Amino acid sequence: MLKRVCDFTLGAPNPYNFELTVHKPAGWYWFTPFEAFERGTIWTAARLSSDDVVGLKASSLGSVEKPEVLVQVFCEDRLSNALEKETLEIIREATGVEEDVKEFYLLAGRYPVLEQAVKDLYGMRASEDPEVFHKVILSITLQMTRIERSYKMLRLLLQNYGRTIVFDDHSIRMWPSAKTLSQVEEDELREKCNLGYRATWIKKAAEDLCEGEIPSWMELKKMSREEAKKALMRIRGVGEYSADIITPHPGFPVDVWSVKIFYTLLFGRELEGNPRSGIPVVREYAEKEWGKWQGYAFTYVLNDLKSLSRELQINVGDTLDEKP
């Protein structure tokens, strides 16, 4: 069982809604699909660059207008100053406490869809786990399949190769490390996790990360948006859509599923013909109208779909049930 080694108390520009940030309405996890969330407190886990793992217990001490977040850190041994600093950096990234959304909210007021989403999800940050390898796995498992199978692949990967840590009376299953997956035979990955051709890509990404050929989140942040996308698209199995999911720079990762929703919401009519034809149209609209806030727009809309459909009386059809 991990022991409590340090605490961090963080402030944030208001408005800031801790619960909506770490436990999003669409069911998006924060650090791992197997984290626990109870009565406003979340228990989860992160892996440091040293391959040490830390348990994180986080909750709000303040309010939306006067935000304050407490994060308790659990580990096997006390962290060095460097690892404690790294842990704090991960927490700041994941909680989004350094992001100020006031500019986005002003922008949102010019678009009925975003205005309603902001009203419904007031104070939410689009932030998440700043771990590139996890996002590579997620983006690869989402490709060319239904969401049910994607979830099954992710569950099997975590169940077969993830690590379980215990702290504060909670047991949390973590993502498998790149080192672990790099040592698994490709055939075993394919069979145990129902990955099909994706086993090749995931194993290669794990090997590349272990060899330092995949940039870290912080390295990607220092690059321009285009530089970061190019770096990510050098990973086998990562195309433009996947790069937009992985990159720390806001993107608009619409696919053949989500483009139908966004087209209907943005243009007030259903997309006709091949959904792929609408992808460049929607992406161009997002880039032109929302610029650096397009990633926020994407996150807010997808986390508020049912409310948007009801409040704006726009029918997005059965697509509401195809993905969370």
Compute the distance between CA of residue 166 and CA of residue 53 in angstroms, rounded to an integer.
11
Domain that holds residue 46: 3-100
Residue 110 lies in a domain: no
- pLDDT exceeding 70 applies to what percent of the chain? 97
CATH of residue 234's domain is 1.10.340.30
Confidence band of 312 (pLDDT split at 50, 70, 90): confident
> Span 44-61, mean pLDDT?
96
Mean pLDDT of the chain: 93
Question: Is residue 183 over pLDDT 60?
Answer: yes
Residues 148 and 238 in one domain: yes
Question: Is residue 324 over pLDDT 70?
Answer: no
pLDDT per residue over 102-158, tens digit each?
Answer: 999 999 999 999 999 999 999 999 998 999 999 999 999 988 778 888 989 999 999
Residues 66 and 8 in one domain: yes
Say how many C-beta atoms besides its own lie within 10 A of residue 7's C-beta: 10
Residue 178 lies in a domain: yes
Residues 301 and 281 in one domain: yes
> Span 309-318, mean pLDDT?
69
pLDDT of res. 250: 82
Residues 224 and 153 in one domain: yes
Alpha-carbon distances, residue 153 vs 34, 128, 226 (angstroms): 14, 21, 30
Residues 148 and 71 in one domain: no
Compute the distance between CA of residue 169 and CA of residue 172 in angstroms, rounded to an integer.
10
What total of structural domains would you count in the chain?
3
Domain-terminating residue out of 246, 267, 286: 246
pLDDT of res. 316: 60
pLDDT of res. 167: 98
pLDDT per residue over 1-21, tens digit each?
Answer: 999 999 999 999 999 999 999
Compute the distance between CA of residue 276 and CA of residue 48 in angstroms, rounded to an integer.
39
Residue 105 lies in a domain: no
Residues 71 and 149 in one domain: no
pLDDT per residue over 193-233, tens digit each?
Answer: 999 999 999 999 999 999 999 999 999 999 999 999 999 99
The angle that helices 279-290 and 258-267 make with each other, rounded to 10 degrees, is 60
Residues 136 and 240 in one domain: yes
pLDDT of res. 98: 96
Residues 263 and 242 in one domain: no
